[in-house]
Structure 1
Amino acid sequence: MNIYVFEDQKSLNFEPLSLTRPVFDIRIGSETFLERIQFLFPNSDITIFVRKDLEEITRDKYPNFNVNPQSIDDGLWLLGNVIWEQDDLSNLTEENSIYYYKNNFVAANLNSDQGKQWLKDGGPTHTIPEIKNKCNIEVGYCEYLWEIIERIPSTINYESNYFEGDLDFMEDVVQQKTNTKNIFADECLIEEGVFFDTSEGPILIGVGAEISGPSYLKGPLYIGSGTYVEPLTQIKKSVIGNSCKIGGEIDSVIIQGYTNKVHEGHLGDAFLGEWVNLGAGTINSNLKNNYESVKVHVNGQSVDTSKIHVGCFIGDHVKTAIGTLINTGTVIGPGSMIATDGFPPKTIKPFTWFVKGKHREVLFEKFIKTAEIVKRRRGQKILVSEKQLLKKIKNSCKSD
């Protein structure tokens, strides 16, 4: 079966993360949205459709995938910001049909001519296919970053059904509150004094992770491959991506990967991108004193989350100075740096230096030089397409 994974017109609802990656590249647990689809369709040809600005960087990251082609075969089209599960797929078998979750278009089962006509009409990032047969289904639809955070328990529980781990290994090293059947880890280093609490959900640990003791880990929780956890760390109900350095107190957080939050300080109900560095004592608020629902500014508008616990949303390559305070519902664009007394504004545009209460423009070449050093320390380099995308983001903010 041909599988077509696409972004839709709401992709910028996931900013600042979706400014630098397709929505389906955002982490949901041990996987991204796209990796979940790959797991469900291991023998299928997968084609991906993204915003025009992301074409080149997507081709570089997924050289074996067809990106934004014009040639279309019969196939199943899946929205990239749905957390798909195996049971969902049995509801998508009716051909020549489009599928909705509530009022949101989430999938289509189209023949070649219908797919080509959809692309001719504007495609997934601009239109919905004009198909008469419409079906309603229940799926794990996410419209904003905080909704992915909200789904951490169900996501980790689902992934624990197929996450590989060595039970004998865990029984030898674990101090725990419940049984080791809910802890999945192998080929990682766990020091004495690490306490695992699986009373509310499983704990998954990737290959090569290092957990220093004493520390407290409470599920549902995922810690990615190559991530290092400092002594005296508390992590609860969170998703920590690959190759991070983690310390302090973390609760209900998703970190995309390659990020340092290694010092003391609370981080809660937050979503962080890659290559972020939070200075010592950086603390975020995730609850207003009046217990009102938190509003977040995304995609050019203020959105009422209808939630009282909402932290911050931090894009790629953001840095904070020591002692930085971050307010509820703050959005910090990629490439920014915060070094100020008190709370910075709740919306920081990409490539902004907010220093001593004033906005300053980031010098792009200096930024790139620093980013190259940071990535080289983790054995990676900045691609030409990545530089071009970051430059385009910076220039678009300059013209606002």
Structure 2
Amino acid sequence: MTVILFDDQFRNNLLPLTYTRPVSAIRVGILTIAEKWAFYFKTTPFYLTEQYLQEKYPFRVSEFNIMVNGSICPDEELVEAIERLAEGDAIVADGILIAVKLNESGVKEFNLNRTEEYNKNEYTSRLLRISFPEDIFSNNDQEIRMDFSILTKGRSSASLSSTNTVLGDNIFVEEGATAECSTFNTIQGPIYLGRDSQIWEGSHIRGSFALCEGSIVKMGAKIYGMTTIGPYSKAAGELNNSVIFGNSAKGHEGYLGNSVVGEWCNIGADSNNSNMKNNYAEVRLWDYQMENYRPTGLQFCGLIMGDHSKCGINTMFNTGTVVGVSANIFGAGFPRNYVPDFAWGGSQGFGTYSLAKMFETAERVYDRKKEVFGEMDKKILTRVFELSNKYRRF
């Protein structure tokens, strides 16, 4: 049986994060949504997403297929309901298609606007759906706990150096993870240290917290919980209820709170984001679909940053700022609350960050991690540059 994770009609609600990935490649908790489904079904899933992403995120069909909405985070009850489906059966919730079992021809004819032929079953139990960027940090605590449970069940943790102080016992250390002279408070939530990750001296960490494979928390960091540092990233300074997808760096002092940072990003030294307005009012975020600011219903909401974006030292992000893909921000003062994709500048104004210059930077960034910035990624970013052109009204 093949598992196919499809993007539904609400995918654009998650821009700019979904410009460069399917919805199911979003990290929330310890794992990406796709990795969660892979764990439950014990198979590598495939993707049905935008055509320009399909080379990197392949699509494959077999004789028997389970198609699952890529915005849904799984749990045991939902997985069991999906496994009971017969061919042509579907699970829906509040009018949204959650999953359907189809043969090969059914997948090839799959269309979200034509689902009336399915035998639909209304799902009334709890569902976690990532619908907007702020849902990622808002649900990160819950998903860290869920992922921690499934990843550590029946397994023994590696040992941690005696130079550390651990409060409680809800910590799991993968092989190769190291920490020295730091404190870990697991009373408020679990702490997961991924394979070959490092916690440098003098760091203070409260759960829930996930440090993924190969990532580093630098000296003296203060991490308040509900936070995920994705693979091969660096974190320092003060962090609270934030998610860094991976291959990104917030390597210096400064505050990051109630925020989501994509891949291949860099936060300059002493940069900060505000996560609450001075008048304590509801935060609004730029919405690509509306081409306007959307109320979030949240009092705490910080920075949403798309892949490949960078900011210089002492950058100040106002409450509820959205930064698109491949933006480069620098200079004094607060940049606007929406920085378009491929923007170059700051509070004094923006121009377009050309593809040629962006590619030069990306090649250097990848080379530092001994990775290759290849043609596949160039094609994706070229398409994103074209799709986002209408937002660059400089």
TM-score (norm 2): 0.91
Is the contact made by 1:74 and 1:115 (CA closer than 8 Å) also made in structure 2?
A: no
Aligned counterpart, 2:101: 109
Matched residue of 1:360: which SS? strand
Aligned counterpart, 1:386: 377
Residue 177 (str. 1) matches residue 167 (str. 2): yes
Deviation readout 1:177-196 (Å, 9 max, x if unpaired): 222x434343212112x100
Distance across 2 between alignment mates of 1:355 and 1:305: 25
Is the contact made by 1:2 and 1:46 (CA closer than 8 Å) also made in structure 2?
A: yes
Equivalent runs, 1:178-327 vs 2, <5 Å: 178-179=168-169, 181-192=170-181, 194-235=182-223, 236-301=225-290, 302-327=293-318
Distance across 1 between alignment mates of 2:109 and 2:29: 35
Distance 1:173 1:83, change over 3 A: farther
Aligned counterpart, 1:133: 119
Matched residue of 2:4: which SS? strand
Is the contact made by 1:170 and 1:183 (CA closer than 8 Å) also made in structure 2?
A: no
Shift of 1:13: 1.4
Shift of 1:354: 2.1
| Partner of residue 151 from structure 2, selected from 158, 163, 183 | 163
Distance across 1 between alignment mates of 2:347 and 2:274: 20
Shift of 1:163: 2.8
Distance across 1 between alignment mates of 2:234 and 2:95: 40
Deviation readout 1:222-281 (Å, 9 max, x if unpaired): 001111111110112201001111100000000011111011111000000111111111
| Partner of residue 98 from structure 1, selected from 90, 102, 110 | 90
Distance 1:354 1:98, change over 3 A: same
Distance across 1 between alignment mates of 2:295 and 2:390: 27
* Alignment length (residue pairs): 382
Distance 1:87 1:384, change over 3 A: same
Shift of 1:161: 2.1
1:381 aligned partner, one-letter code: V
Deviation readout 1:305-353 (Å, 9 max, x if unpaired): 1111111100111111111111121111111111132211111111001
Aligned counterpart, 2:348: 357
Equivalent runs, 1:368-379 vs 2, <5 Å: 368-379=359-370
- After alignment, is 181-190 or 49-58 more displaced? 181-190
Shift of 1:166: 4.9
Aligned counterpart, 1:366: 357
Is the contact made by 1:312 and 1:330 (CA closer than 8 Å) also made in structure 2?
A: yes
Distance across 2 between alignment mates of 1:333 and 1:288: 22
| Identical amino acids, percent of aligned pairs | 26
Is the contact made by 1:186 and 1:205 (CA closer than 8 Å) also made in structure 2?
A: no
Shift of 1:76: 1.9
Structure 1: any 5+ residue segments left out of the alignment? Answer: 60-66
Distance across 1 between alignment mates of 2:382 and 2:256: 29
Shift of 1:109: 2.6
Shift of 1:136: 2.1
| Partner of residue 130 from structure 2, selected from 142, 150, 167 | 142
Distance 1:183 1:399, change over 3 A: closer
Distance across 2 between alignment mates of 1:105 and 1:364: 37
Distance 1:275 1:132, change over 3 A: closer
Aligned counterpart, 1:8: 8
Distance across 2 between alignment mates of 1:166 and 1:99: 36
Aligned counterpart, 1:39: 39
Residue 153 (str. 1) matches residue 141 (str. 2): yes
Distance across 2 between alignment mates of 1:306 and 1:58: 33
- After alignment, is 71-80 or 289-298 more displaced? 71-80
Distance across 2 between alignment mates of 1:397 and 1:117: 30
Distance across 2 between alignment mates of 1:105 and 1:55: 21
TM-score (norm 1): 0.90
Shift of 1:144: 1.2
Is the contact made by 2:344 and 2:351 (CA closer than 8 Å) also made in structure 1?
A: yes
- After alignment, is 162-171 or 324-333 more displaced? 162-171
Is the contact made by 1:341 and 1:356 (CA closer than 8 Å) also made in structure 2?
A: yes
Is the contact made by 1:170 and 1:185 (CA closer than 8 Å) also made in structure 2?
A: no
Shift of 1:47: 3.4
Aligned counterpart, 2:77: 87
Distance across 2 between alignment mates of 1:168 and 1:364: 45
Is the contact made by 2:40 and 2:79 (CA closer than 8 Å) also made in structure 1?
A: no
Deviation readout 1:101-146 (Å, 9 max, x if unpaired): 333222113344543432xxxx35xx35223532222322120121
Is the contact made by 1:73 and 1:115 (CA closer than 8 Å) also made in structure 2?
A: no
Distance across 2 between alignment mates of 1:178 and 1:50: 43
Structure 2: any 5+ residue segments left out of the alignment? Answer: none
Is the contact made by 1:163 and 1:204 (CA closer than 8 Å) also made in structure 2?
A: no
Shift of 1:169: 0.8
1:251 aligned partner, one-letter code: N
Shift of 1:172: 3.7
Aligned counterpart, 2:51: 52
Aligned counterpart, 1:63: none
Aligned counterpart, 1:28: 28
2:218 aligned partner, one-letter code: E
Distance 1:299 1:103, change over 3 A: farther
Shift of 1:395: 2.6
Matched residue of 1:154: which SS? helix
Distance across 2 between alignment mates of 1:129 and 1:172: 58
Distance across 2 between alignment mates of 1:116 and 1:344: 45
